[in-house]
């Protein structure tokens, strides 16, 4: 994300066109953000203030090493995403993951959102945050009466599967299985 001053060209929106954060000064209730983080794994992953808050707290944690069971579960999740039917939607993948991963719906959804932000679940017809910063104003959402997913996950379909180069970057130990 480039350094910038808040830019809000849409009169009906209080959000910055570049970063998507509030363009006006506001008091942030860090207790609410921390509650959301602990309860659901965070829900504002595309807001710069939350991103900084989350990363600062994450950096204070003791380093954890994934177990072989963790790697096996990740492999299963990525295979499920790769092997979904062509017309599968994010909710279909979320339900499939629910059958193999002890978790609640919110936890699965946040994990999927993070995989989409990282480029692993990448809708081919949309720009990828893995490749380049996409300004908030260019993160178009599909038309829908009810949309519970953020950009870019809202656009993902089974035909998109998983992106091998993103898996290779983030998870090099298992990348050979997805090339």
| pLDDT tens, position by position, 107-135 | 899 899 999 999 999 999 888 888 888 77
Whether pLDDT at 79 is above 70: yes
Classify 48 as helix, strand or coil.
helix
Q: Which domain holds residue 102?
A: 68-178
Mean pLDDT computed over every residue of the chain: 87
What is the reported pLDDT for 35? 92
- Residue 139 tokens read as 């993160």
Residues 107 and 153 in one domain: yes
Cβ(123)–Cβ(152) below 8 Å: yes
In tens, the pLDDT along 2-40 reads 777 777 776 666 777 777 776 666 677 889 989 988 887
CB 136 within 8 A of CB 18: yes
Please tell me the total count of domains within the chain. Answer: 2
pLDDT at 116: 95
The DSSP call for residue 159 is G
Same domain, 124 and 56: no
3-state helix, strand, coil in the chain (%, to 5): 45, 0, 55
Helices first, then strands: H and E counts in the chain: 6, 0
Same domain, 85 and 158: yes
CA separation, residue 155 to residues 67, 113, 144 (Å): 32, 11, 11
Note the pLDDT of residue 139.
74
Q: Are residues 30 and 76 in the same domain?
A: no
In this prediction the pTM is 0.83
């Amino acid at each position: 994300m480039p350094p910038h001053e808040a830019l809000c060209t849409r009169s009906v929106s209080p959000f910055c066109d570049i970063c998507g954060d509030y363009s006006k000064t506001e008091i942030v209730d860090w207790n609410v953000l921390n509650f959301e983080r602990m309860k659901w794994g965070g829900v504002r992953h595309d807001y710069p203030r939350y991103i900084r808050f989350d990363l600062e707290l994450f950096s204070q944690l003791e380093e954890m090493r994934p177990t072989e069971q963790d790697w096996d579960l990740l492999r299963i999740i990525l295979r499920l995403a790769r092997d979904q039917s062509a017309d599968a939607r994010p909710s279909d993948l979320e339900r499939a993951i629910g059958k193999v991963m002890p978790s609640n719906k919110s936890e699965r959804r946040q994990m999927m959102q993070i995989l989409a932000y990282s480029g692993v679940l990448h809708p081919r017809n949309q720009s990828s945050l893995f490749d380049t910063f996409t300004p908030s104003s260019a993160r178009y959402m599909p038309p829908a009466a009810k949309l519970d997913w953020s950009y870019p996950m809202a656009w993902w379909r089974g035909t998109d599967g998983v992106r091998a180069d993103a898996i290779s970057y983030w998870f090099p130990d298992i990348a050979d299985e997805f090339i």
